[in-house]
């Protein structure tokens, strides 16, 4: 794209979305007022100096926003495109990144979008299995990776709000919005939830199983793995993720989401633990009943926090939901209030949104 391709109406729309005010005209050009700068924008490309005014406006915007003019031109020309900016901080000169870290980052960005898209289509999952659908594949095929930018090393994914065949009816969509929009709203919410979960683990107020409490917000083992992959080949560098919203639609508010190298390590370990436990088979949990769940929709269950022992690993400090029959639940539930120590042996399975244990014939053993 070159400067002569600037559309005055698109530039005006861009300025309005960034908080500039149209304060009338001067010698036939619209006067746009920013925080401390004015720009002249011709209402249409009619006179010989109109292209010069448009180019000058973009050049000033590049300085004010500290961004390349080419990037601003893309945003002006594509009002229905969201962006995902991943600012990595490799231990290399600005504008460069180690090859292995760069490859891992691109793969992780793809996995982030894939996981968010599958969450929109399939609903929240602790662990996603099977192949992605055609809808998700088509969505990923529409995403473009922009030119990398200095400032450490920044990757930009450009995500269309909707596919071209539905752009014309965009504003007739239901309240959930077009698919591309839903994916990024889901991703933004999941990233903020993952950040919150990490903070609790680092502060010592939660263990890795806290991830399961944020599944409804879009957090999954897949998302945790993808996020941790942005911390470099050694999972030891900080980074941030910022979603930029298409200016033609109302946008959620929010700043860039910051992740430290420690947070990345927490997410990596939590994801590995979840995947290992989902395929471990038989295990034993010894601890106290932390929570109860009983309704008419799902089988009753109790949440036991303590030591989880499996045949393939050392004991883990965490909580596990144990599914019981209604008769078992009615006899065991009072122990929750007595803070009694119990032991359950059974099979661990991943059932969509959580890890669950189903007791073997020994049922629930009361230790003390």
pLDDT at 253: 65
Distance from the first to the final alpha carbon of the chain: 73
Per-residue pLDDT tens over the stretch 56-68: 999 999 998 888 8
Token pair, residue 189, equals: 């919410």
Q: Which helix (H) or strand (E) holds 321?
A: strand 313-323
Per-residue pLDDT tens over the stretch 179-221: 999 999 999 999 999 999 999 999 999 999 999 999 999 999 9
Token pair, residue 148, equals: 């990398």
**Is 294 in contact with 329 (CB distance < 8 Å)?**
yes
Helix, strand, or coil here: 306? strand
Closest of 186, 139, 187, 145 to residue 160, by C-alpha: 139
Flag whether pLDDT at 247 surpasses 80.
Answer: no
pLDDT at 168: 42
pLDDT at 250: 67
pLDDT band at residue 50 using 50, 70 and 90 as cut-offs: confident
pLDDT at 162: 80
Helix, strand, or coil here: 32? strand
**CA 51, 53, 57, 59 torsion-angle sign:** positive
What are the helix (H) ranges across the chain? Answer: 8-17, 50-65, 69-77, 99-122, 134-142, 164-167, 179-202, 221-228, 261-278, 326-332, 335-338
**Is 337 in contact with 313 (CB distance < 8 Å)?**
no
**Is 6 in contact with 52 (CB distance < 8 Å)?**
no
Q: How many C-beta atoms lie closer than 10 Å to residue 367's C-beta?
A: 11
Per-residue pLDDT tens over the stretch 119-152: 999 999 999 999 999 999 999 999 999 877 767 8
Across the range 159-185, mean pLDDT stands at 69
Closest of 71, 248, 59 to residue 158, by C-alpha: 71
pLDDT at 30: 93
pLDDT at 208: 94
pLDDT at 49: 85
Across the range 244-266, mean pLDDT stands at 85
Please state, for a pLDDT cut of 70, what percent of the chain lies above it.
Answer: 93
Q: Which of 196-205, 227-236, 312-321, 331-340 has the lowest mean pLDDT?
A: 312-321
pLDDT at 5: 72
Per-residue pLDDT tens over the stretch 296-310: 999 999 999 999 999
Kindly report the pTM of this predicted structure: 0.86
**Domains, the chain, ordered by start:** 3-77 (3.30.160), 81-275 (no CATH), 279-366 (2.40.50.140)
Mean pLDDT of the chain: 90
């Amino acid at each position: 794209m070159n400067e002569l391709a600037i559309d005055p109406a698109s530039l005006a729309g861009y300025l309005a979305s960034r908080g500039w005010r149209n304060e009338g005209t001067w010698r036939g050009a619209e006067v746009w007022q920013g925080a401390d700068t004015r720009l002249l924008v011709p209402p249409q490309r009619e006179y010989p100096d109109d292209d010069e005014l448009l180019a000058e406006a973009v050049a000033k915007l590049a300085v004010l926003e500290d961004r390349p003019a080419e990037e601003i031109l893309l945003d002006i020309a594509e009002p229905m495109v969201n962006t995902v900016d991943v600012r990595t901080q490799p231990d290399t000169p600005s504008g460069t990144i180690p090859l292995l870290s760069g490859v891992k980052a691109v793969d992780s960005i793809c996995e982030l979008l894939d996981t968010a898209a599958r969450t929109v289509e399939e609903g929240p999952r602790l662990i996603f299995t099977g192949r992605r659908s055609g809808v998700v594949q088509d969505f990923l095929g529409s995403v473009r990776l922009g030119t990398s930018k200095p400032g450490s090393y920044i990757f930009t994914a450009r995500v269309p709000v909707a596919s071209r065949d539905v752009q014309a009816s965009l504003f007739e969509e239901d309240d959930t919005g077009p698919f591309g929009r839903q994916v990024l709203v889901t991703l933004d919410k999941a990233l903020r939830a993952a950040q919150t979960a990490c903070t609790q683990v680092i502060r010592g107020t939660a263990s890795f199983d806290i991830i399961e409490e944020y599944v409804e917000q879009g957090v999954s083992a897949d998302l945790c793995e993808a996020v941790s992959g942005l911390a470099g080949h050694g999972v030891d560098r900080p980074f941030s993720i910022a979603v930029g919203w298409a200016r033609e639609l109302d946008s959620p508010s929010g700043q860039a989401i910051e992740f430290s190298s420690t947070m990345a390590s927490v997410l990596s370990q939590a994801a590995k633990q979840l995947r290992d436990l989902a395929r471990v088979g038989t295990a034993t949990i010894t601890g106290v009943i932390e929570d109860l769940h009983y309704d008419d929709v799902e089988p009753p269950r109790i949440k036991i926090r303590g030591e989880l022992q499996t045949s393939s690993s050392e004991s883990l400090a965490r909580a596990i939901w144990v599914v019981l029959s209604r008769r078992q639940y009615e006899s065991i539930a009072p122990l929750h209030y007595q803070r009694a120590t119990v032991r359950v042996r059974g099979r661990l399975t991943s059932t969509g949104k959580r890890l669950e244990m189903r007791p073997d014939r020994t049922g629930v053993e009361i230790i003390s």
